[in-house]
Amino acid sequence: MSTSRLVSQFGRAVRRQRELSQLSQRQLAELAGVSQASVARIERGDRAPSVLVLERLLAAMDVQLTVAVEPLDAHLDA
């Protein structure tokens, strides 16, 4: 299964924020109303979260999603 770069970025962002919030996957799942298995799959990049689920996860950690666009090849410049 091929994971998109965006799905991987969502997963890394959720994991990073969860760790900063000092929450376990189970605690975050309970706060957001999703299963712990879903949180694990999202963090690994195995599952693309819906926008609603992503917003619920982030809101449970008192942060919000912001969106930006950039030229398609911008990641190649890094």
pLDDT digits (tens, 9 = 90+) for 45-65: 999 999 999 999 999 999 998
Q: What is the pLDDT of residue 69?
A: 87
pLDDT digits (tens, 9 = 90+) for 23-53: 999 999 999 999 999 999 999 999 999 999 9
Nearest alpha-carbon partner for 62 in 25, 26, 22 = 22
Looking at the predicted structure, is the pLDDT value of residue 78 above 60?
Answer: no
Question: Could you tell me the two tokens for 37?
Answer: 């298995």
**d(C-alpha 35, C-alpha 37), whole Å:** 5
- Tell me if 53 sits within 8 A of 32, measured CB to CB: yes
